């Protein structure tokens, strides 16, 4: 009886898809690893017999794995790797992009990679030191401020007034202060020419059913729940979802969103 029950429950076919999440910058809080882990469980539940194996790595670790001949089925990667990740064009569902990001990831009119998240850099100031030296910390004074930035390591020791960091590092500063282990900071978002963008794409070796499933994995990522989760961890979604409420739990990410939108 038990064996008969197992036979009835087993899907007709199974597919295991590997996802490499390649990290170059971090959200303000939380992590994209957990974000993808939660989403993968939803996708597996909806698609019986499909299993997603996720692995997070740095860009250096990615280069080492590729150099050894390893590969994934789905890649999450930063803009800096847009020309080197081995992905192919796919027929993704039409999307409305919130920012001027759709120009990235297309080749000869075909979309190879889907931009899904955006972050930014922040000019960060040691609040106490700036106040003590009577330095105006504002966007109107940003040219002067940018001329006086220090390395992050020096800023961390409390010796420097100003530095530039990504959202993840800024989040660490804020949480350290809130736990009584750091100093208060203020921050101004900066728009750089090379934006901190994250993409999704499917392997150039995928075909048939596996390619169909990998494409669906990317297309179905942009629902209301996942869009709102992206905002909560401190990243800005690049694909519009009119049902989603874009609520950022920190004022600095909210300011970045207003600046880029």
User: Which residues make Cβ contacts (< 8 Å) with residue 96, sequence separation at least 6?
Assistant: 239, 240
Which residue, 190, 207, 238, sits at the end of a domain?
A: 190
Task: Tell me which of 138, 169, 190 is where a domain ends.
Answer: 190
Q: Where are the beta strands (DSSP E) in 127-184?
A: 162-166
**7 domain residue, yes or no:** no
CB of 190 closer than 8 Å to CB of 164: yes
Average pLDDT over residues 95-113: 86
Domain holding 22, by residue range, is 13-118+195-250
Q: Identify the CATH number of the domain in which residue 203 sits.
A: 3.40.190.10
Kindly state the average pLDDT of the residues 50-76: 96
Does residue 142 sit in the same domain as residue 219?
no
pLDDT class of 10 with cuts at 50, 70, 90: low
Count of domains forming the chain: 2
Same domain membership, residue 66 and residue 40: yes
Do 202 and 186 lie in a common domain?
Answer: no
pLDDT of residue 261: 79
Per DSSP, the residues of 78-131 read: EGGGTTTS-EE---PPP--BSSTTTTTTEETTEE--EEEEEE-EEEEEEHHHHH
Pair 172, 48 in one domain:
no
Model pLDDT, residue 108: 80
To the nearest 5 percent, what fractions of the chain are helix, strand and coil? 40, 25, 35
Query: 103 and 131 share a domain?
Result: no
Give tens-digit pLDDT for 217-249: 999 999 999 999 999 999 999 999 999 999 998
The pLDDT confidence band at residue 9, using thresholds 50, 70 and 90, is low
pLDDT digits (tens, 9 = 90+) for 134-169: 999 999 999 999 999 999 999 998 889 999 999 999
pLDDT score for 64: 96
Distance between CA atoms of 13 and 166, rounded to whole angstroms? 43
- What is the rounded distance in angstroms from the CA atom of residue 242 to the CA atom of residue 17? 30
Check whether residue 209 and residue 82 sit in a common domain: yes
Tell me 38's DSSP state.
H
């Amino acid at each position: 009886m038990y064996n008969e029950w197992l036979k009835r429950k087993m899907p007709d076919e199974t597919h295991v898809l590997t996802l490499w999440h390649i990290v170059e910058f971090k959200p303000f809080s939380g992590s994209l690893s957990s974000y993808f882990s939660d989403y993968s469980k939803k996708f597996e539940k909806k698609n019986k017999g499909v299993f997603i194996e996720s692995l997070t790595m740095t860009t250096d670790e990615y280069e080492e794995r590729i150099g050894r001949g390893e590969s994934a089925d789905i890649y999450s990667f930063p803009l800096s790797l847009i020309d080197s990740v081995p992905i192919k064009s796919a027929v993704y569902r039409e999307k409305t992009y919130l920012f001027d990001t759709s120009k990235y990831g297309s080749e000869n009119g075909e979309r190879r990679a889907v931009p899904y998240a955006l972050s930014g850099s922040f000019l960060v100031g040691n609040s106490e030191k700036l106040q003590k030296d009577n330095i105006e910390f504002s966007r109107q004074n940003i040219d002067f401020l940018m001329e006086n930035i220090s390395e992050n390591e020096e800023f961390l020791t409390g010796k420097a007034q100003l530095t530039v960091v990504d959202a993840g590092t800024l989040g660490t500063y804020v949480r350290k202060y809130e736990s009584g282990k750091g100093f208060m900071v203020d921050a101004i978002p900066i728009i750089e020419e090379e934006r901190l963008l994250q993409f999704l794409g499917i392997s150039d070796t995928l075909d048939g059913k596996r390619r169909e499933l990998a494409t669906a994995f990317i297309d179905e990522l942009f629902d209301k729940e996942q869009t709102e989760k992206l905002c909560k961890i401190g990243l800005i979604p690049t694909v519009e979802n009119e049902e989603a409420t874009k609520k950022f739990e920190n004022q600095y990410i909210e300011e970045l969103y207003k600046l880029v939108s």
